[in-house]
Amino acid sequence: MLYLVGLGLSYTSDITVRGLEVVKKCKRVYLEAYTSILMQADQKSLEDFYGREVILADRELVEGGSDQILAGAEQDDIAFLVVGDPYGATTHTDLVIRARELGIKIETIHNASVMNAVGACGLQLYQFGQTVSLVFFTDSWKPDSFYDKILENRKIGLHTLVLLDIKVKEQSIENMARGRLIYDPPRYMSIETAARQLLEIEESRNQQAYTPNTPCVGVSRLGSPQQKFKAATLKELTKYESGEPLHSLIVLGRQVHDLELEFLYDFVDDKEKFKKFVEEDQEYFKPPPYVPPPDDDDDM
């Protein structure tokens, strides 16, 4: 059996009781170590808590060495641990498909992830549209496919959760070209970097998917003791000091419920100023007023 086990967001003890029981009985235990991190734990603390060895699974192993992970899973129990929920990244879907092709049984043990825990900021989960990912820009590479999805969400009034890039065990172009197994230090995108990149793409696309005054929420260390939210305009967030990772960003939709707004006031510097930006932003993509069809009797 291949077990996909969600670890939650922060602590070693965030794993479910059933998940912990599974980990303790498995022959091998892998920890997916590149799409996210447990903010209050590391490999050693997990091994101490589980009482057994944990094998780090980097991007190369998960995407190119799935057969190694799945080896013997027809007879033995193998655990694949994922920060958050197992299906928070498409890479894990690929692993499941490969296991099915090999006739390996699969069981999933779910847990909290950013996709549901983000509701702690006060925005209602069913008011979120498509989630997008934002990668670190380079001088020559500034992908903007996320922009169209934010635009679509905003047109129908929905909030957009923006997941910010993390780079773990990444090589520089020079080291990659020279075949040197030298890896750059881990990097985690901050809220202020994300805000600057979003505005850079808006300036080039100029479709007003959002503006410098669009209200947003910066989310820092969700699920940890240092969890923090900051409600401000996109421009204001370019100067925000978001602190230690992990971070994400929410672009508010055109329709903001009164209860959502009331909840967000706890995270703003100036309540009236923020309310003004929300009200102004609601004019964008506002549907035209309803015009009833002509009454046939009027033509008689």
Residue of 17 and 34 predicted with greater confidence: 17
Which residues neighbour 52 within 8 Å (Cβ) at sequence distance 6 or greater?
A: 23, 24, 29
Task: Please report, for the chain, how many H helices and E strands are present, in that order.
Answer: 12, 12
Domain contains 296: no
Chain mean pLDDT for the chain: 91
Does residue 142 sit in the same domain as residue 104?
A: no
Q: Which of 26-40, 60-74, 93-107, 171-185 has the lowest mean pLDDT?
A: 171-185
Domain contains 164: yes
Which residues neighbour 93 within 8 Å (Cβ) at sequence distance 6 or greater?
A: 87
Domain end call among 112, 127, 146? 112
Does residue 252 sit in the same domain as residue 169?
A: yes
pTM (two decimals)? 0.90
pLDDT at 299 over 70: no
Domain contains 204: yes
Could you tell me if 247 and 197 are in contact, meaning their C-beta atoms sit under 8 angstroms apart? Answer: no
Does residue 190 sit in the same domain as residue 252?
A: yes
Q: How far is CA 85 from CA 111, 116, 255, in A?
A: 5, 10, 29
CA distance 186 to 178: 21
The domain spanning residue 188 has which CATH number? 3.30.950.10
Domain contains 202: yes
The candidate with the shortest Cα–Cα distance to 78, out of 86, 89, 67, 70, is 70
What is the residue range of 102's domain? Answer: 2-112
Does residue 270 sit in the same domain as residue 190?
A: yes
- Residue ranges for the known binding site for S-adenosyl-L-methionine are 9, 85, 88, 113-114, 164, 222, 247
Domain end call among 112, 145, 169? 112
The torsion angles phi and psi of 78, rounded to 5 degrees, stand at: -120, 135
Does residue 156 sit in the same domain as residue 274?
A: yes
pLDDT at 266 over 70: yes
Does residue 76 sit in the same domain as residue 131?
A: no
CA distance 226 to 223: 8
Domain contains 290: no
- The pLDDT of residue 66 is 83
Does residue 188 sit in the same domain as residue 101?
A: no
pLDDT bin (cut points 50, 70, 90) of residue 173 is: low
CA distance 99 to 78: 11
Domain contains 294: no
Domain end call among 112, 133, 149? 112
CA distance 163 to 297: 55
- Residue ranges for the known binding site are 9, 85, 88, 113-114, 164, 222, 247
Does residue 134 sit in the same domain as residue 230?
A: yes
Decide: helix, strand or coil at residue 232: strand
Q: Which of 26-35, 131-140, 230-239 has the lowest mean pLDDT?
A: 26-35
Does residue 94 sit in the same domain as residue 240?
A: no
Ranges of beta strands (E only) in 125-207 are 132-134, 160-164, 166-167, 187-188
* Secondary structure string (H, E, C) spanning 238-268: CCCCCCCCCEEEEECCCCCCHHHHHHHHHHC
Sign, Cα dihedral of 188, 234, 271, 261: negative
Domain contains 299: no
Does residue 89 sit in the same domain as residue 147?
A: no
Instruction: Kindly state the average pLDDT of the residues 173-186.
Output: 62
The domain spanning residue 41 has which CATH number? 3.40.1010.10
Does residue 133 sit in the same domain as residue 250?
A: yes
Note the pLDDT tens digit of each residue in 85-130.
998 877 788 889 999 999 999 999 999 999 999 999 999 999 999 9
Does residue 135 sit in the same domain as residue 279?
A: yes
How many domains are there within the chain?
A: 2
CA distance 195 to 204: 15
Domain contains 288: no
